[in-house]
Amino acid sequence: MKKALALAAAAAFIFGVSQPQEAKAQRALDVASTFPKNMVYLGEGAENLGKLLADVSGGKLRMKVHGAGELVPALEVFNAVSSGAVPAGWDWIGYWAGTVPVTGLMGAMPFGPGPEVFLGWMWEGGGLEILQKAYDKYNVKVLPCHLTAPEAGGWFNKEINSPDDFKGLKMRISGLGGKVINKLGASSQLIAGGEIYVALERGRIEATEFSLPIIDKSLGFQNITKYYYFPGWHQPASWNSLIINMNVWKKYSETEQKQFIAACKANVIWSMAVAPAAQGPVLEEFKAKGIKVLRFPDPVLQALRKASAEVLQEEAKSDPIFKEALDSLNAYAKTANAWMELQSLPTK
């Protein structure tokens, strides 16, 4: 499947390059990011997308990426794009769940599918169509352009030995994961990436999750916590996207729109390719520094899974588009996993 996806992306890339240009060169598209511009992998993903877009368009389509807070605060990017205050944004999709509930699922599904299945559903299984339907009322075009590998479960200053250890815990956690740990008695907070360290250092929160080890290292969590837990049950795969004000999007020609899509798909391949091998050496650095890298005990994961199922059903009951997306994703995953389980090989 991965080879097929890569070939599809390559074909799209070539299509974008080979088609005649229908419009004159335009100035760079200003993109307000939810991440610091220099953030490893996540911020870098927008810069890489900009390079790919320039390549497929022969230099006629360009992006100027602005880091979090440069144009608007990180967690206000969606509203700014929707209103036209800024023409485009780069985000983690799940940040907008308070406004568009289905984005909580689209960003990452707790105990949901891994990157391969999530990718197939988003671009080929109907996921993107559902997401766009939800965004239409906000006058926003969405292109999922970056797929993040399974993340860490989080950083803690105490061991998590049982579900009771979440009671009273103040934790920064994004998306539906926050609602899940609240069911176990924790108090979740959503804080933008560039602000987490200070919140943790000053005691506003007692634990945090953010992303992959290479990214967490760049934010310095290893300097002020003791325990690093896996797996990232709340984000087994997660999407970042390019969002464009619909009025701006419609000004691009059909060929230019296809070039955006081609660059986007190529960027997904990049995001999946660069992540896996980079994490191991960073984990060894953490261990050498005295950080205890651990797995959540099975009873903890079982409690989180049960709470996750409850949260998903509650969200589905309260929002019809969320329900449509959840039913669609579960059906797609069931079909895909039937094949993948037959092909699974023993680990030893």
Specify if 174 maps to a domain: yes
Specify if 112 maps to a domain: yes
Specify if 187 maps to a domain: yes
* Pair (244, 99) in one structural domain: yes
The enclosing domain of 308 has a CATH number of 3.40.190.10
* Pair (254, 196) in one structural domain: no
Q: Could you give the number of structural domains in the chain?
A: 2
Q: What is the pLDDT of residue 26?
A: 53
* Pair (303, 215) in one structural domain: yes
| Residue 35 in marked binding region | no
* Pair (230, 241) in one structural domain: no
Domain that holds residue 264: 2-149+237-276
* Pair (228, 208) in one structural domain: yes
At residue 201 the predicted structure's pLDDT band, cuts being 50, 70 and 90, is very high
* Pair (255, 176) in one structural domain: no
Specify if 332 maps to a domain: no
* Pair (287, 163) in one structural domain: yes
Query: Average pLDDT of 230-247?
Result: 98
| Residue 172 in marked binding region | yes
* Pair (80, 91) in one structural domain: yes
* Pair (243, 306) in one structural domain: no
The enclosing domain of 71 has a CATH number of 3.40.190.170
Picking from 175, 242, 192, 179, the residue whose alpha carbon sits closest to that of residue 76 is: 192
* Pair (270, 310) in one structural domain: no
* Pair (144, 25) in one structural domain: yes
The whole-angstrom separation of Cα 106 and Cα 96 is 10
Specify if 345 maps to a domain: no
* Pair (220, 261) in one structural domain: no
| Residue 151 in marked binding region | yes
pLDDT in tens, 47-97: 999 999 999 999 999 999 999 999 999 999 999 999 999 999 999 999 999
* pTM of structure: 0.90
Specify if 325 maps to a domain: no
Picking from 153, 137, 149, the residue whose alpha carbon sits closest to that of residue 101 is: 137
* Sheet strands (E) in the chain: 29-33, 63-66, 88-92, 140-148, 154-156, 170-172, 187-189, 207-208, 227-230, 238-245, 292-295
In eight-state DSSP terms, residue 297 is P
Signed CA dihedral, 97, 101, 103, 106: sign only: positive
Q: What is the pLDDT of residue 203?
A: 95
| Residue pointed to by tokens 């955006």 | 260
Q: What is the pLDDT of residue 123?
A: 97
